[in-house]
Amino acid sequence: MSNSAKGSVTMRVIAGQYKGRQLKAVPGKNTRPTTDKVKEATFQIMGPYFEGGKFLDLFAGSGALGIEALSRGMEWGILVDKSPKAIHIIHDNLKALNLEKETEVFRADAFRALHAASKRGLQFDLILLDPPYAKGDYEGLINEIVSLEILNKGAMIYCEHDHSTVLNPLHKSLSLIKQQKYGGTITITIFRNDA
């Protein structure tokens, strides 16, 4: 995260079709943008580029992670956030990149969004979990994702959390493919659905 004197955050798309394009950040201290270094390392692990696929970002913030996935070849995704400010910024960023047709945006609680996706019969190749660290019910969310059967075979669940949160595979269908610490606070845990 690069802070200017005024405390604003500049973000950009790291790779793919929209590489180098600037993205707006959500103002205030309630969102914590994923740094370029972490984004780059994470997408190298999950596969630098995708051949289609659908994603669900449950704590989208500015939409940067979902936009990165689209830039790298995913075809469609849903971006969810509870914050009206975040929803506004997501729409701005999608409009700037002409990605409105490739996305749906909802202001909703993460659990509600999961149930809505399940009712529509949707299945995903990537689910992004990057909630405010102190408020993230990772185990509850992962349990819900598995029980609702909204993961395609080989789909990944990306979790960004602080070092004090320990995440292990909760279901035999999930395998841990990477757990990595970055800097003083961030840990990335990635699971794959093998069912």
Task: Note the pLDDT tens digit of each residue in 9-46.
Answer: 668 999 999 999 999 999 876 666 777 888 888 898 88
> Whole domain around residue 22: which residue ranges?
2-193
**pTM confidence score:** 0.91
What CATH number corresponds to the domain at position 55? 3.40.50.150
CA distances (Å), origin 106, targets 63, 86, 97, 116: 12, 10, 18, 10
- Work out how many domains the chain is built from and give that number: 1
Looking at residue 3, its pLDDT comes to 36
Looking at residue 30, its pLDDT comes to 63
Looking at residue 32, its pLDDT comes to 67
DSSP-assigned letters across all residues of 33-77: PPPHHHHHHHHHHH-SS-SS-EEEETT-TTSHHHHHHHHTT--EE
At 5, the pLDDT band (50, 70, 90 cuts) reads very low
